[in-house]
Structure 1
Amino acid sequence: MSQDEDKRLAALAAAAEVEDGMLVGLGTGSTAAFLIDELARRAGEGLRIEAVATSLASERQAIAGGLTVRPFDEVAAIDLCIDGADEIDGACIAIKGAGAAMTREKIVAAAARRMVVIADGSKQVASLGENFPVPVEVLPFARAFVAHRLTALGGTPVLRLRDGAEWRTDQNNPILDTRFGAIADPLALARALSCIPGVVGHGLFVDEVDAAYVARDGIVSRIERPGAPAAPKA
């Protein structure tokens, strides 16, 4: 079973939570792309939904597939957000941001009644941070200052590049991919990052994720965060 097939299976499992009349937040990345394709297919068969997108790339894919995408700046709340993750642990705490959309993703997740992560088994970890850095989006004006503060927190920030040039988010901000090693207290680190002036957003999702569908070798498991809003009944 390939990694892409596991991504697709996780996306299909989460897509089953989408019901007629919902306003759905569409994530960003390779796993979310399978979700968007599935929702576009179901919409072609009569599923009536509207969507908001966490990135320009996801918006373009959704519109090309025939989905109705609303501008998020006109939306205060949504029913369900489904997105990928770069790492997720057994408590549904995640690191996101490989696709550079973590700030928009976090805002859409916070607006959702329920937020679901979809991932292949390689993204499930015992301790966050061992394999993946925490992406930190910063104002260009504050880049050196924020990097200094991240270092003081024990991190090793590296400016994200693409094709040799500084990678900019959809908000036109740079990203400092910051390695902290195994993160013993994600909540404390998330609070510390949010308190640094010049940080626009970061990829630690501590309490936004309500559930995760994780596929490994063709088998999908669902992890629910205790006390999280329940999935719709089939």
Structure 2
Amino acid sequence: MDLVAQAKKNAGHRAADMVKDGIIVGLGTGSTVFFAMERLGERIKTEGLSILGVPTSHQTAMRAEEYGIPLTTLSLHPVLDIAIDGADQVTPSKQMIKGRGAAHLREKIVADAAKQFVVVIDSAKEVPVLDAAVPIEILPFAYGSVCKKLVELGGEPVMRNGVKKDGPVISDNGNYIFDCAFGKVDDPALLESAINSIPGVLENGVFAKMTEKTIVIVGKSA
């Protein structure tokens, strides 16, 4: 295992060890979260840990099944005890950009429903200022008008295309994903609200309004 993977595993396992018996856990999408799920599966088998998970993507649901983590829904459990997720960039003030896995709409819903939001990253994801392209989930019908508005906001929207398929990436919700560069983001909360105010935008990957309940775990490679 390389050093980055070891750091991700360290962070994921530390988050999983925070999970208490009998609680409802939001399960994010991505490699670092999957290490947390791996550890949760181990605890279920060895400790008899009893939890229910709410997955943020089809991929996470399949991985949970593989690890033996029983699942539930937000309809049955609209308030979660904890949500564990990764991030693409995180500032010292715990504002972040997420969405490289195109699951940020469901991830933000799950994080909002959770009493505590635990974000697991390796040290490369720590930045002084957010400057990554912002993933945006857009209703296909509206992508032309939305992109025009994003340009007016100072962004450079680019449709995300599939790697092992031709054409655009389609989210689990059936929508397009655009990555929109804004350069350095001086006011993440303002940008988050401005993007979401555009009709046709379902959600964007700036997470700037959950800092009070957010805990960031930075994994180490040793």
Q: Distance in 2 between matches of 1:119 and 1:94?
A: 11
Q: Distance in 2 between matches of 1:63 and 1:90?
A: 35
- Taking structure 2 as the reference length, what is the TM-score of the superposition? 0.94
Structure 2: runs of 5+ lacking an equivalent:
none
Residue number in structure 2 paired with 1:145? 145
Deviation per CA, 1:34-74: give whole Å up to 9, x if none: 11111011011111111110111001110121111002333
Deviation at 1:86, TM superposition (A): 0.4
Residue number in structure 1 paired with 2:217? 213
Residue number in structure 2 paired with 1:232? none
Residue number in structure 1 paired with 2:157? 157
Letter paired with 2:38: D
Residue number in structure 2 paired with 1:30? 31
Deviation per CA, 1:6-43: give whole Å up to 9, x if none: 00001111112100011000110111111111101101
Letter paired with 2:103: A
The runs of 4+ residues in structure 1 deviating greater than 4 Å are none
CA contact (8 A) 1:53 1:72 kept: no
In proportion to residue count, which structure has more strand? 1
Structure 1: runs of 5+ lacking an equivalent:
219-234
Deviation per CA, 1:161-195: give whole Å up to 9, x if none: 01331000000100110000110000110110111
The answer to whether structure 1 residue 90 and structure 2 residue 98 are counterparts is no
Kindly report which structure 2 residues correspond to 1:56-205, keeping only aligned pairs within 5 A, or say none.
Answer: 56-129=58-131, 132-163=132-163, 164-205=166-207
Residue number in structure 2 paired with 1:228? none
3-state SS of the aligned residue for 1:161? coil
Identity %: 39
3-state SS of the aligned residue for 1:175? strand
- For these two proteins, the number of residue pairs brought into alignment is 216
Q: Distance in 1 between matches of 2:14 and 2:209?
A: 22
3-state SS of the aligned residue for 1:113? coil
Farther off after superposition, 158-167 or 88-97:
158-167
Q: CA RMSD in A?
A: 1.1
